[in-house]
Chain A
Amino acid sequence: MCKITINGNPLSVQDNATILEAAAMANMRIPTLCYLEGLQPMGACRVCIVEVEGSATLPASCSTPVREGMVIHTNSKRVREARKTVVELLLSEHEGDCRLCERSEDCELRKLADELGIRKNRYEGEKPSSATDTSSVALVRDNAKCIKCRRCVQVCAQIQHVGVLAPQFRGYRTTIGPAFSDPLSSVACVQCGQCAAVCPVGAIVEHSHIDEVLSALENPHKHVVVQTAPAIRAALGECFGLAPGTLVTGKMTTALKLLGFDAVFDTDFAADLTIMEEGTELLTRLMAAHQTGDRSKLPQFTSCSPGWINYAEHYFPDTLDKISTCKSPQQMFGALAKTYYAQKVGIDPAKMVVVSIMPCTAKKYEAARPEMRSSGFQDVDYVLTTRELGDLIKMSGIDFTALEDSPMDAPLGISTGAADIFANTGGVMEAALRTVHAVTTGRPIGMEDLHIAVLAGLEGIKTASVTLSGTIGVWKFLEGKEVKVAVAHGLGNAAALIGHIRDNPDEFQFVEIMTCPGGCIGGGGQPRFTTDEVRRARIAAIYREDEGKQLRQSHENPAVQQLYAEFLGSPLGEKSHHLLHTTYEQHERVKSH
């Protein structure tokens, strides 16, 4: 421990703490811009400078460790003036029209300028020319707004191990972006949008589909249906000032009906269906391995997270054979909406528009993949992020917090609690194990509240094992067998887990990968700002949603059972193969044209 003084208050703090951390412990807030919790501080923005007695310069508090006897001032005249100048200089190079910027409400730079009382431009700097990169399906970058804080660089390289963004060129000409400032579409961006989630200004945002959705809703000849991913209901409230983790399932449904959607459905329905297909696929692979000894398709990897699929196709082609061939719930839903549902209600699928509400930017890319047209049309037409839905609701003058609850429509709005937990890291695995256990033994999994506790929470890589006993019928070959599973979230953790599996190929039978830290609840399209505290609150809300449902196991979903009876036949059947499964292919990391 070391004794320091901050703003006249004596404090005892841990030796390796930074000044920023020490001040936070004493409830003294130092403003930051480039700082991200859990990552190596960069000291790039200089906003967090403080005065240390005896030091000639003003050190950045995020990257300066405390020393015994340090006397620190976080808000002296010298600090305030210097900090103000730092922000003024950032503003002088920031080319953006705040009146029209989509981040005007939650821009960290604008907020900081306001807090520091900056009311005029003292420095009229040369502004970078606006060069908007719209080449990516999911993301739009505007370098003129970029303040070069490098949060996106850190997240992309350190959390996601993708590293397609880095500072290019030098001095005044520095830009943040792909190699040689080439378009984002020319490199192996996985479209996860974590860069957009951490950008303090409006330099990286999702490619908006709001206008397209509005014009579909206003077209009387279109039948517009909407599906909502499980993670939305635990986060959408944040767009309207509700606390993170406030469940707004019913209000969201009412809002979507008010917006004019002809039917409000649930991606949860397709998540239950995914468990039927993916669980059967796992059991089929285990049986094949038992009968032939061929383990080449094990461990089976989940396929729900489109950023992970992009990552595997670009960076880990040796896993492609092991990834479940199941489409993600979003795409299963789209394929069924324009076939099964269209037939059921007698609507020409050519006149149907499927809109998804997703916590995710990569879902925009996934919906646009050329192979995702098994209904004969683009299965999912438009994807809105949680943030975009929040904007759309505000745009329409709906008083969200005052709305009454309403239920989702049948049949594609019916779901079990197992589907809800797809939103959380570990959730797809838990949902799958609930059904796999029940199918192979005839009994529900014997865990408290059906939760596999070791798979919950924010630890980067988690493992569990379930021993199957009392197996029935064709599954007796699994009697006494231990099913070992692993879960990783954040692609850096995924890469580490895959490295481990390469060295230990027989250790696990089933592996869940989610692209974003925390799973979909921490997706790149969720309301800003997603800290670990926010992640925990959303995760807890999702488990509450699950526990509140009468049916908690996917195979019990009556609408899914009806779908198989009326339309699909059986899991992995011919129709499933055509509508619900897909293929993957290796892509080069840098386009070599």
Chain B
Amino acid sequence: MTQYAHAEHKNSAGSCHETGVQDVIPIIDDIIGRYRGTRGALIPVLQSAQNLLGYLPKEVLIHISDQLDIPYSEVAGVVTFYSFFTTVPRGKHTVRVCLGTACYVRGGKEVLDAISKELRIEVEQTTEDRLFSLEIGRCFGACGLAPVVMIDETVFQRVKPSRIRALLDPYRIGPDQEADHETN
């Protein structure tokens, strides 16, 4: 992930599912306007769009392709190249388990298995209640803290398989309490 993913238009995790595609088109157009004429605009625009919606629906990709005058096949090529991008709606929270070398040798795979078992989903799937999506990461740059798990933008260090439930439970609380949790 690059700086843009964090810099641009991060919706609060609580509202991203409710944002409609049509609502974000003007915001995306605004972002595209700022990148117009700049080489390499595609990736930051895609990141911003995904941050707004939680995923990249086809109509948004077609819109970005038209506005940036980049063939749709090339836009899709970038979206399918980077595991960060997704074209299917994600859960409210994205759990990314790092399987980079350091995390892997210090038990990242066991952590992944434990989360998979706890959430009863496989990698790249979303729980039925649309609360969690599970993904694999390839190094978050926190190798000294391995094994590492990221939930949304928060990094958890030295995660043990036995502590998984405790890690996830705060994200399972109701929406009225959530605001408090997120400010932590």
Interface, chain A (partner B; CB < 8 A): 157, 162-170, 177-180, 187, 589-590, 592
CB pair A592–B59 under 8 Å, yes or no, is: yes
- Report B19-76 residues with CB < 8 Å from chain A CB: 58-59, 61-62, 65-66, 71-76
Can you sample 7 A-B contacts with CB below 8 Å?
A157-B74, A164-B73, A167-B81, A168-B73, A179-B75, A180-B76, A589-B62
CB pair B80–A589 under 8 Å, yes or no, is: no
Residues of A within 8 A of B81 (CB): 167, 169-170
Residues of B within 8 A of A162 (CB): 71
Give the docked Cα–Cα distance between A164 and B74 (Å). 8
Whether B125 is near chain A, meaning CB under 8 Å from some CB there, is no
Q: Which of A170, A179, A592 contacts B73 (CB 8 A)?
A: A179
CB pair A592–B58 under 8 Å, yes or no, is: yes
CB pair A589–B73 under 8 Å, yes or no, is: no
Q: Chain A residue with minimal CB distance to B82? A: A170
CB pair A187–B73 under 8 Å, yes or no, is: yes
Q: Chain A residue with minimal CB distance to B70? A: A163
Residues of A within 8 A of B73 (CB): 163-166, 168, 177-179, 187
CB pair B59–A163 under 8 Å, yes or no, is: no
CB pair B72–A179 under 8 Å, yes or no, is: yes
Q: Which of B66, B72, B77 contacts A187 (CB 8 A)?
A: B72
Give the docked Cα–Cα distance between A166 and B77 (Å). 6
Give the docked Cα–Cα distance between A590 and B74 (Å). 13
Give the docked Cα–Cα distance between A547 and B87 (Å). 59
Give the docked Cα–Cα distance between A592 and B72 (Å). 12
Give the docked Cα–Cα distance between A177 and B80 (Å). 12
CB pair B71–A157 under 8 Å, yes or no, is: yes
Q: Which of A157, A163, A170, A187 contacts B80 (CB 8 A)?
A: A170
Q: Chain B residue with minimal CB distance to A165? A: B73
Residues of A within 8 A of B82 (CB): 170
Q: Chain B residue with minimal CB distance to A170? A: B81
Knowing A157-B71, A164-B71, say if A592 contacts B77 (CB, 8 Å). no
Residues of A within 8 A of B75 (CB): 179
Knowing A157-B71, A589-B72, say if A167 contacts B77 (CB, 8 Å). yes
CB pair B80–A590 under 8 Å, yes or no, is: no
Question: Which of B65, B66, B76 is most buried by chain A, counting CB atoms within 10 A of its CB?
Answer: B76
Categorize the interface residue count of chain B.
10 to 19
Residues of A within 8 A of B58 (CB): 590, 592
16 additional contacts, CB 8 Å, given A163-B74, A180-B76?
Answer: A157-B71, A162-B71, A163-B73, A166-B73, A167-B81, A168-B76, A169-B80, A178-B76, A179-B73, A180-B80, A180-B87, A187-B73, A589-B66, A590-B62, A590-B72, A592-B58
Q: Chain B residue with minimal CB distance to A178? A: B73
Residues of B within 8 A of A169 (CB): 80-81
Q: Chain B residue with minimal CB distance to A161? A: B71
Question: Which of B65, B77, B82 is most buried by chain A, counting CB atoms within 10 A of its CB?
Answer: B77
Give the docked Cα–Cα distance between A163 and B73 (Å). 7
Q: A57 to nearest B CB, angstroms?
A: 25
Give the docked Cα–Cα distance between A545 and B58 (Å). 51
CB pair B77–A163 under 8 Å, yes or no, is: no
CB pair B62–A166 under 8 Å, yes or no, is: no
Give the docked Cα–Cα distance between A168 and B66 (Å). 19
Q: A586 to nearest B CB, angstroms?
A: 14
A interface footprint on B67-105 (CB within 8 Å = 1, 0 otherwise): 000011111110011100001000000000000000000
Question: Which of A162, A166, A179 is most buried by chain B, counting CB atoms within 10 A of its CB?
Answer: A179
Q: Chain A residue with minimal CB distance to B59? A: A592
Q: A523 to nearest B CB, angstroms?
A: 23
Q: B78 to nearest A CB, angstroms?
A: 9
Top-7 shortest CB links A-B = A163-B71, A179-B76, A166-B73, A166-B77, A169-B80, A179-B73, A166-B74
Q: Which of B59, B61, B66, B76 contacts A166 (CB 8 A)?
A: B76
Give the docked Cα–Cα distance between A165 and B75 (Å). 11
Give the docked Cα–Cα distance between A166 and B82 (Å). 15
Give the docked Cα–Cα distance between A166 and B58 (Å). 17
Residues of B within 8 A of A163 (CB): 71-74
Q: B101 to nearest A CB, angstroms?
A: 17
Give the docked Cα–Cα distance between A592 and B80 (Å). 18
Give the docked Cα–Cα distance between A187 and B74 (Å). 13
Give the docked Cα–Cα distance between A178 and B73 (Å). 5
Residues of A within 8 A of B65 (CB): 590
Q: B141 to nearest A CB, angstroms?
A: 21
Give the docked Cα–Cα distance between A168 and B72 (Å). 11
Residues of A within 8 A of B76 (CB): 166, 168, 178-180
Q: B157 to nearest A CB, angstroms?
A: 28
Q: Chain B residue with minimal CB distance to A163? A: B71
Residues of B within 8 A of A177 (CB): 73
Give the docked Cα–Cα distance between A157 and B61 (Å). 18
Residues of B within 8 A of A590 (CB): 58, 62, 65, 72
Q: Which of B59, B61, B62, B80 contacts A168 (CB 8 A)?
A: B80
Give the docked Cα–Cα distance between A165 and B76 (Å). 10
Give the docked Cα–Cα distance between A166 and B76 (Å). 8
Give the docked Cα–Cα distance between A390 and B152 (Å). 61
Give the docked Cα–Cα distance between A180 and B80 (Å). 7
Residues of A within 8 A of B87 (CB): 180
Q: B5 to nearest A CB, angstroms?
A: 18
Q: Chain A residue with minimal CB distance to B87? A: A180
Q: B83 to nearest A CB, angstroms?
A: 8
Residues of A within 8 A of B61 (CB): 179
Residues of B within 8 A of A187 (CB): 72-73
Give the docked Cα–Cα distance between A170 and B76 (Å). 12
Residues of B within 8 A of A180 (CB): 76, 80, 87
Give the docked Cα–Cα distance between A162 and B70 (Å). 10
Give the docked Cα–Cα distance between A590 and B59 (Å). 10
Q: Chain B residue with minimal CB distance to A179? A: B76
Q: Chain A residue with minimal CB distance to B74? A: A166
Give the docked Cα–Cα distance between A168 and B77 (Å). 4
Q: A82 to nearest B CB, angstroms?
A: 27
Residues of B within 8 A of A589 (CB): 62, 66, 72
Question: Which of B66, B72, B73, B77 is most buried by chain A, counting CB atoms within 10 A of its CB?
Answer: B73
Q: A187 to nearest B CB, angstroms?
A: 7
Give the docked Cα–Cα distance between A589 and B59 (Å). 12
